Amino acid sequence: MAASNAAAARTKTSKVWEHFSLDTVNKKITCMVCKAVLVYHGSTSVMHEHLKRKHVGQLNETEFDSPR
């Protein structure tokens, strides 16, 4: 499997994926809470930071656990 397809083929296990949709063609993620579009670099770090900074009062605290 090519490296570019590896991320798309992986199972999304992090809870943050419940709040984002992925556009693999443009390498962008969209927050389903506020519709913010962010660049996807292959990890969930950007998503975790976005949720912590923008939605701390709206979402369950367990969803803000740091990425592994």
28-57 pLDDT, tens digit per residue, is: 999 999 999 999 999 999 999 999 999 988
Phi, psi of 31 (to 5 degrees): -70, 125
Q: What range does the domain containing 19 cover?
A: 3-64
Residues 28/37, Cβ–Cβ less than 8 Å: yes
Does the pTM exceed 0.85?
Answer: no
What is the share, in percent, of the chain residues with pLDDT greater than 90?
A: 59
**What's the structural domain count of the chain?**
1
pLDDT at position 39 is 97
Q: What angle do CA 38, 22, 37 make, to 5 degrees?
A: 20
Examine the pLDDT at 61 and tell me if it is beyond 50. yes
Sequence-ordered alpha helix ranges (H) in the chain: 3-9, 45-54
Residues 30/37, Cβ–Cβ less than 8 Å: yes
Tokens of 60: 């369950």
